[in-house]
Amino acid sequence: MSEIDPKLSRLYREASSEGPPAALDAAILAAARKQIAKPQRRARSFWVRWMAPASALATLVVAVSIAFLVERERPETLDGTAIREVSPRPQSPPPAHITETTKPKAADSAAPAAAERKEAPAAADRATVEAASRKDAPAAAAPAARSAEPAPPAAQAFPAESRAKAITPETAARKTAAEPNVAGDSAIGRLGATAPAAPAAAGKLAPTRQHGIQRSPEAWLEEISRLKREGSDKEAAEQLAEFRKIYPAYAVPENLLK
């Protein structure tokens, strides 16, 4: 620096040799090392301090997640009674009159009120079968069937099928006599040119579907399960296939899928 005489500067440096005491040096150097050691200790203590809470939190999160998953899976796999919300249904329930006409075949599971409504057609069926077995005039059952008014709208719902099933009382009687197992259907066909055919058509088209319609999914699954327990695997498989058509989104228990 030009403002200071170089010789004066040299003289000053030669004369200046003072320094801090050794104790002061030691104290400052010790403080410096302590300061260096602090951050490392702080970092370790931070990890040690948060390790336990972090572990507890992680365990809690895992436990809650597992519990939540189990809670969600339980209705489908264990209980089988809870219904997963199904939207929209692939097939809306048929009109009430179809259900009514098919009730006689599923009387065991029908509601009491519906069963009452079915008393008349059922009586007509029984009368028809009896008449056919006795070789009586088939017309004898017709008035009774007409008086029972077995849901004419069914014919409107399935006009083509009604026409196909529209047979004369005589042929129906002969058919009934020859095939007693389908007497109900045939007898219903004798009830009228249009109306009596509906129950028979509905019954032949999708009997298992009607099961599904009339029963709740749980009851239906219970029925399928019962069939499997009884060894009717084929029928159970059919029922299950039908069930899955109607309730494609319903969680079927795994034991039924095997």
Partner 1 sequence: MLAYRNGDGTAFDVLYGRWRGPLYRYFLRQCGHSGHADELFQDVFMRVIGAATNYEPTARFSTWVFRIAHNRLVDHWRKLGREPVDPLPAGDIGDDREPAPPGPEDSAPDRQAESRELGVALMAALNELPEVQREAFLLAEEGGLTLEEIASISGVGRETIKSRLRYATAKLRNKLESWR
Q: Output the 3-class SS for 30-91.
A: HHHHHHHHHHHHHHHHHHHHHHHHHHHHHHHHHHHHHHHHHHHHHHHHHHCCCCCCCCCCCC
Q: In degrees, to the nearest 5, what angle opens at C-alpha 136 toward C-alphas 133 and 139?
A: 115
Cβ distance to partner 1 smaller for residue 5 or 233? 5
258 vs 244: CA distance, rounded Å: 14
Cβ distance to partner 1 smaller for residue 28 or 57? 28
Smallest gap from residue 46 Cβ to partner 1 (A): 15
Smallest gap from residue 33 Cβ to partner 1 (A): 5
Smallest gap from residue 47 Cβ to partner 1 (A): 17
Cβ distance to partner 1 smaller for residue 4 or 160? 4
Smallest gap from residue 13 Cβ to partner 1 (A): 7
The alpha carbon of 110 is separated from its chain's Cα centroid by a whole number of angstroms, namely 23
Cβ distance to partner 1 smaller for residue 7 or 229? 7
Smallest gap from residue 78 Cβ to partner 1 (A): 59
187 close to 199: Cβ distance less than 8 angstroms: no
Smallest gap from residue 41 Cβ to partner 1 (A): 12
How many residues bind partner 1, per CB under 8 A?
32
128 vs 176: CA distance, rounded Å: 8
Q: Which residue from 253, 254, 246, 210 is spatially nearest to 80, judged by alpha carbons?
A: 253
Helix, strand, coil % over all residues of the chain, rounded to 5 = 75, 0, 25
256 vs 74: CA distance, rounded Å: 16
Cβ distance to partner 1 smaller for residue 19 or 231? 19
Q: Which residue from 153, 147, 137 is spatially nearest to 194, judged by alpha carbons?
A: 153
The footprint of partner 1 on residues 21-60 (CB under 8 A) is: 21, 24-25, 27-29, 31-33, 35-36, 39-40
Cβ distance to partner 1 smaller for residue 44 or 135? 44
The footprint of partner 1 on residues 143-202 (CB under 8 A) is: none
Smallest gap from residue 30 Cβ to partner 1 (A): 10
Cβ distance to partner 1 smaller for residue 12 or 50? 12
Radius of gyration of the chain (CA): 44
The footprint of partner 1 on residues 2-21 (CB under 8 A) is: 3-21
Segment holding 7, helix H or strand E? helix 6-15
Residues at the interface with partner 1 (CB under 8 A): 1, 3-21, 24-25, 27-29, 31-33, 35-36, 39-40
